[in-house]
Amino acid sequence: MTQPFLSIRNLRKAFGTITAVHDVTLEIPRGEFLTFLGPSGSGKSTTLYAIAGFQDPSSGDVLLQGKSLLSVPSHKRNIGMVFQRYTLFPHLTVAENVAFPLRVRRRPKAEVKKKVADMLALVRLESFATRLPGALSGGQQQRVALARALAYDPPILLMDEPLSALDKKLREEIQGEIRRIHRETGVTILYVTHDQEEALHLSDRIALFRDGRIEQTGSGEDLYLRPATDFVAGFIGNSNFLAAEHLDTTDGTATIRLADGSVISGVRANGTFGNGQKTRLMIRPEAFGMERSPASAELNVEIVDVAFYGERRRIVARTAAGEGVDIRPTSAAMPSQDVSPCSWQVFFDPAAAFLFPA
Amino acid sequence: MSVETRRNLGTVRLPAGFNGLLPALVLIVLFFVVPVLALLLRSVTEPEPGLQNYAALLGDGTYARVFFNTFLVASVVTIVTVLVAFPVAWMLAIMPSALASVVFGVIILSMWTNLLTRTYAWMVLLQRTGVINRTLIAAGVIDQPLPLINNLTGVTIGMVYIMLPFMILPLVGTLRAIDPMTLRAAALCGASPFQAFRRILVPLSLPGVAAGGLMVFVMSLGYFVTPALLGGTSNMMLAEMIAQMIQSLLNWGLGSAAAFILLVVTMALYALQLRLVGARRMSGGL
């Protein structure tokens, strides 16, 4: 492909003295489900709004199939969007809401009628066509909003935290719907959320935002298994950070000394470190095992508390240096729940541990 | 009296706290219901019993013209007030609240200024040799003074100015309740600013327009000072006619009948409004 479907180039947006987006560059192929993930205020919504045309960027460009969108007003961008809050038109019925984008485009009546029926079938709300939005639950309203946003076959669908106002069960249900609709329509989706589980569950690719910049872009697996920075490691999934002194790096694997004095070699070094430099070692809670294997490193901890979470147990432990460690082995791996404070030895694969600058 | 009242209270079940409401009820009956009944009585008894006052008012071409003119002025004033108030209300609704309260203050201040003063001020501005005409002539825009006073134009200008706050305040309430995101959603759906205005903003603001519009229309129907000072003799309004009947002609019966017709029309309009917009939505708009 010579040109990407949608590209965001060096996007920057400042509000007075505050810069919400510093420098965002992204290329999005057609049909991709890309999620902007990040804490609130990280610039993900601002980037989305620039694509929607609600905010003009201070500099940079947004191109759809090679053509800049910036000079095109919102209502001519032909982009679909589902908002965080319910933005259905309260005085119009469900069917009229879905028909609205087609009516303003002056499509023939028969076409509008057919398309509305198709869209309501897509979101499985055929029987609600004549209701007013106020008579619908939050989840149903967002499904109508989805139908309305897709009614005019937009090349891009923007979704700005569409599930944040819903409870957990509804959220999961609609996530399933969104995945199905993405599969069935093949529409390119840009999805904004601060919920990492939602991002991992839905997206082909995630762009992790931090302070107006993209920290890392990649699949959920990339971000989880190969975090580029300690921020990514800390944001995606659960993670333990232990203070470590860097001793030596060869071929990308480092040898370090933990605060309790134990030396571990074979950890993955993210970046280059000087000998003796203070670093942080990141280990996922589920990377800990109860059994020794030839390659594994060991960590001596004192168990503070054990909680049962069904498939996993959660062990709150402390290293000899007093650092808290979160350990989540599978329940089968750790049969007893009744553990009083005691010393324990846990094992982890150094290749699943990452070294970051302190 | 107290004994009798008690006996009556014993037979009818009254809501709790009714006794506390009694003074207010007495006040309303004494000062509102009784005078209206007296008015009605007068209109059918003076100068002699019968409906001849109503027959005269409704049958006579001159009076009919006054009625027509009253409704014409009230309608024109209401429409113009809505058109002027809408952009102001929208601006107030989307303005930062600190700035909006300043503008609100200015609007309220104009309401507190003496009505007569404001109407005379318009006379100064609008008359043949007034500020507006002289400025326009000096600027070479016109060579003959525009007829801005003692006609429908003058009445409309003066009354719209006085009625604006009564339209702006309920409208701002309604417009503020509209989520601005709804309009953004409309824009992304492909609606041009005009389409979003016509298909989304206007329908959603209707309760406020109806509430303010009714208030303006009803107030305009019975308005006296401004039409008397800025209007012409050819477009007399009902209130002026009533004043003339009672003050100059001392015809209390005819004046009462005219006043009663005005009251009935007003109440009919209010009932219609309640049916169309719904009592709850209207009070919400206010």
Q: How far apart are CA A299 and CA B237, in angstroms?
A: 96
Residue A53 distance to chain B (closest CA, Å): 9
Residues 188-207 of A with CB under 8 A from B: none
Q: What is the dihedral of CA B176, B180, B186, B191, to 10 degrees?
A: 80
Residue A30 or A268, more confident: A30
Q: How far apart are the first and last CA of chain B?
A: 41
Complex ipTM over 0.90? no
* Range name among A218-222, A347-351, B77-81 with the lowest pLDDT average: A347-351
Give the domains, in start order, of chain A with CATH numbers. 6-233 (3.40.50.300), 238-357 (2.40.50.140)
User: Which of B190, B191, B196 is nearest residue A78 as measured by Cβ atoms?
Assistant: B190
pLDDT band at B274 (very low <50, low <70, confident <90, very high): confident
Q: How far apart are CA B45 and CA B41, in angstroms?
A: 6
Look at A101 and B190 and tell me if their CB atoms are within 8 Å. yes
| Residue B81 pLDDT exceeds 80 | yes
Find out whether A60 and A9 touch, Cβ atoms under 8 Å.
yes
Residue A280 distance to chain B (closest CA, Å): 44
Q: How far apart are CA A258 and CA A300, in angstroms?
A: 11
Mean pLDDT of A257-285: 88
Question: Could you tell me what percent of chain A has a pLDDT over 90?
Answer: 59
Mean pLDDT of B55-60: 87
What is the reported pLDDT for B284? Answer: 39
Burial class (CB in 10 A: 0-12, 13-18, 19+), A174: buried
| Residue B268 pLDDT exceeds 50 | yes
What is the reported pLDDT for B269? Answer: 86
What is the reported pLDDT for A103? Answer: 95
| Residue in A with minimal Cα distance to B205 | A91
Q: How far apart are CA B164 and CA B77, in angstroms?
A: 10
Question: Could you tell me what percent of chain B has a pLDDT over 90?
Answer: 51
What is the reported pLDDT for B281? Answer: 46
pLDDT per residue over A108-164, tens digit each?
Answer: 999 999 999 999 999 999 999 999 999 999 899 999 999 999 999 999 999 999 998
- DSSP label at residue A285: G
Contact residues on chain B for A85, CB-CB shorter than 8 A: 179, 181
Contact residues on chain A for B185, CB-CB shorter than 8 A: 81, 83, 87-89, 145
Interface test with B, best of A72, A104, A112 (most B CBs within 10 A): A104
Cβ of residue A81 closer than 8 Å to a chain B Cβ: yes
What is the reported pLDDT for B271? Answer: 87
What are the helix (H) ranges across chain B? 2-11, 18-28, 34-45, 52-59, 61-94, 97-112, 115-126, 131-138, 152-176, 180-188, 193-196, 202-221, 225-230, 238-243, 252-277, 279-285
What is the reported pLDDT for B196? Answer: 94
Residue A326 or A292, more confident: A326
| Residue in A with minimal Cα distance to B207 | A91
Residue found by looking up tokens 């001159």 in the block = B62
Domain parsing of chain B, residue ranges: 24-285
Torsional class of A66: left (φ above 0), alpha (ψ -120 to 50), beta (otherwise) = left
| Residue A299 pLDDT exceeds 50 | yes
Give me the sheet containing A205-210, strands edge to edge: A67-68, A59-64, A6-15, A18-28, A213-218, A205-210, A33-37, A188-193, A156-160, A80-82
Find out whether A238 and A285 touch, Cβ atoms under 8 Å.
yes
Q: How far apart are CA A157 and CA A182, in angstroms?
A: 10
Mean pLDDT of B43-54: 88
For residue A204, the Cα-to-chain-centroid distance in whole angstroms is 10
What is the reported pLDDT for B166? Answer: 93
Residues 136-165 of A with CB under 8 A from B: 145, 148-149, 152
Interface test with A, best of B181, B184, B188, B205 (most A CBs within 10 A): B188
Burial class (CB in 10 A: 0-12, 13-18, 19+), B137: middle
Cβ of residue A83 closer than 8 Å to a chain B Cβ: yes
Look at B188 and A75 and tell me if their CB atoms are within 8 Å. yes
Residues 181-210 of B with CB under 8 A from A: 181-182, 184-193, 195-196, 199-200, 203-204
Residues 215-274 of A with CB under 8 A from B: none
* CATH class of residue range B24-285: mainly alpha
Structure tokens that stand for B255 in this block: 């004046």
What is the reported pLDDT for B50? Answer: 86
What is the reported pLDDT for A290? Answer: 81
**Beta-carbon contacts of residue A314 (< 8 Å; ≥ 6 apart):** A285, A306, A307, A326, A327, A328
pLDDT band at A67 (very low <50, low <70, confident <90, very high): very high
| Residue B4 pLDDT exceeds 70 | no
| Residue B2 pLDDT exceeds 50 | no
Residue A101 distance to chain B (closest CA, Å): 5
Mean pLDDT of A74-101: 93
Look at A75 and B193 and tell me if their CB atoms are within 8 Å. yes
Q: How far apart are CA B88 and CA A249, in angstroms?
A: 69
pLDDT band at A302 (very low <50, low <70, confident <90, very high): confident
pLDDT per residue over A194-227, tens digit each?
Answer: 999 899 999 999 999 999 999 999 999 999 988 9
What is the phi/psi pair of residue A44, to 5°? -70, -40
What is the reported pLDDT for B56? Answer: 87
What is the reported pLDDT for A320? Answer: 85
Mean pLDDT of A74-92: 92
pLDDT band at A338 (very low <50, low <70, confident <90, very high): low
Q: How far apart are CA A268 and CA A271, in angstroms?
A: 9
Instruction: Give whole-number Cα distances, A113 to A93, A96, A181, B137, B190, in Å.
Output: 14, 10, 20, 59, 18
pLDDT band at A332 (very low <50, low <70, confident <90, very high): low
Residue A83 or B8, more confident: A83
Q: What is the dihedral of CA A264, A270, A275, A278, to 10 degrees?
A: -80
| Residue in A with minimal Cα distance to B198 | A104
What is the reported pLDDT for B99? Answer: 93
Q: Helix crossing, B52-59 with B34-45: angle to 10°? A: 80
Look at B190 and A75 and tell me if their CB atoms are within 8 Å. yes
What is the reported pLDDT for B1? Answer: 43
What is the reported pLDDT for B11? Answer: 58
Find out whether A112 and A65 touch, Cβ atoms under 8 Å.
no
Mean pLDDT value across chain A: 90
Residue B201 distance to chain A (closest CA, Å): 10
Residues 29-68 of A with CB under 8 A from B: 52-54
Cβ of residue A322 closer than 8 Å to a chain B Cβ: no
Contact residues on chain B for A157, CB-CB shorter than 8 A: none
| Residue A251 pLDDT exceeds 90 | no
